[in-house]
Amino acid sequence: MLITAGPTREPIDDVRFIGNRSSGTLGIELAREAVNRGIRTTLALGSSVHEPNIREVGVTRFETTADLHQLLLCRVPDIDILVMAAAVADHTPAVRHPGKLGRNETGSITIDLVPTPDLLASVAASARPDQLLVGFALEPADRLAESAQPKHETKHVALIVATPHDTMESSENEATLFPSAALSHLVERSPGQRSKESFAAWLIPMLVQCLRHKANR
């Protein structure tokens, strides 16, 4: 299993970056639960302030969306399950300014942003039929299904785990699961709000069950 977690950092110059408030905590708990169940697990972790401290987990680090993309291209062909829990930037600065971009005393500074590639969709395009790919979507609570359901279809993955915005820095997690039609009978009703540790203990065995179902088809 490969689990991605934590934020990306998109450099503006050599000092500043565009980032987000993801802590990586949920991904760390997912990795902990996976190894507790005997699953050989790698955790790809962004610039999180939290250290996994899980002896059995191989940890590799990434900084930018481009870093993570290269990591996925190298690692995904050799895994059974990808859990894409990282908070990946949708945009990155078009130009990285050398050194430190100085203050503009006469007016504002404009930073041009360009879209980043859809990493999960890119990986899914070349995935094996027996692999299980799981995406995460952080969406407005009042439009969770409306926003997340299309991602399940456009990314062509087995499962989308949709969570409200306010879970990013929370110690608890609340999620709604959107499975593919082939796996809908295996996915339990979403468990409501619970600790991230408890959510991981609920989700990981379900993913193993879904993988076995794909392997036996």
Task: Kindly report, residue by residue over 12-34, the tens digit of the pLDDT.
Answer: 999 999 999 998 999 999 999 99
Per the structure, the count of domains in the chain is 1
Task: Kindly report, residue by residue over 60-106, the tens digit of the pLDDT.
Answer: 999 999 999 999 999 999 999 999 999 999 999 999 999 998 887 67
DSSP 40: -
Q: Exposed, middle or buried, 101 (CB in 10 Å: 0-12/13-18/19+)?
A: middle
In a domain, 172, yes or no: yes
Task: Give the number of C-alpha atoms closer than 13 A to the C-alpha of residue 23, restricted to the C-beta side.
Answer: 16
In a domain, 106, yes or no: no
Residue 34 to residue 40: CA distance in whole angstroms? 8
* Domain housing 189: 2-92+113-215
In a domain, 53, yes or no: yes
Indicate which residues carry an active-site annotation.
20
Side chain identity, residue 200: A
pTM greater than 0.85: yes
